[in-house]
Amino acid sequence: MKRPHVICHMMTSLDGKIIGDYMDTEEAKSLFLKYVEIQESYNPKAWMCGRVTMEESFAFGEKLEFNEGITLSVPRTDFIADAHAKRYVIAVDPKGKLRWTQSTVPTSFQLKVESHIVVVLTEVVPDDYLIYLQELGISYFFGGKEQLDLHEVLRKINTLLGAEEMMLDGGAYLNGTFLNEGLVDELSLVITPAADGDTSTPALFAKPDSLVKQPAARFVLREVQKLESNGIYLNYTINR
């Protein structure tokens, strides 16, 4: 199957956490800029985040309720509103929970190229949600009937969006499901020299209990870089 090369690019604490109090340290603030710079150096055609990350950082639309109806009037066919975008941001939102305001994530200090929004759905989302996305000019495609098939999702990212490479930008659940399916090809990590020992925050990968546990993924070290603010950059490729 032709699919994009998947680079999981994340920032962690020394204890492998992806969120927590350590993010408020001077070191984390400075290293976040490095994290953005490294992401941009890949110049990715596509970057992907899970529903929770999107809700927290990019999907700030009004909390609308949708009629739950599913009829044949809105076919479950993929809808690509912009087939020529320079960059795509892919939101994994199987149940259609995210509420948007526009069809792109604009440039900012953490994003150098405007990204057209593409939502990965399952076929059980209400018709009205599909109409809502179409009216906003947001693209969507189906990654499974009731459950997502990540192999199919990647195949479509390649065929529908033309992406040969994709940054997998968290959170833990999304990363964990990709890792469990053997779909993380490269790991790109900015490590902050801080730890907070909080046991309630997620680490880099969190496999959902519903998935059958696979043997631990092993990686081969490709690059180590000492960064400013006592940070480290690590780059690994998967050892298949």
Binding site for ligand NAP (CB under 6 A): 10-11, 18-19, 49-53, 56, 92, 94-95, 97, 148, 150, 169-174, 177, 202, 206
Nearest CB to ligand NAP, comparing residues 66 and 82:
66
Q: Which residue minimizes CB distance to ligand NAP?
A: 171
**Encoded tokens for 61:** 């639309």
Amino acid identity at 124:
V
Nearest CB to ligand NAP, comparing residues 92 and 163:
92
Residues 183, 179: Cα–Cα separation, whole Å: 6
Report, in Å, the least distance between residue 163 CB and ligand NAP. Answer: 18
Report, in Å, the least distance between residue 154 CB and ligand NAP. Answer: 11
Nearest CB to ligand NAP, comparing residues 139 and 177:
177
CB of 222 closer than 8 Å to CB of 170: no
CA dihedral sign, ordered 10, 116, 98, 163: negative
Nearest CB to ligand NAP, comparing residues 8 and 163:
8
**Encoded tokens for 92:** 């994994």
Report, in Å, the least distance between residue 123 CB and ligand NAP. Answer: 13
Residues 139, 105: Cα–Cα separation, whole Å: 13
Report, in Å, the least distance between residue 84 CB and ligand NAP. Answer: 27
Measured from the Cβ of residue 193, the count of other Cβ atoms closer than 10 Å reads 16
What's the CA angle centered on 103, arms 83 and 45, to 5 degrees?
45
Report, in Å, the least distance between residue 17 CB and ligand NAP. Answer: 8
Nearest CB to ligand NAP, comparing residues 82 and 128:
128
90: left (phi over 0), alpha (psi -120 to 50) or beta: beta
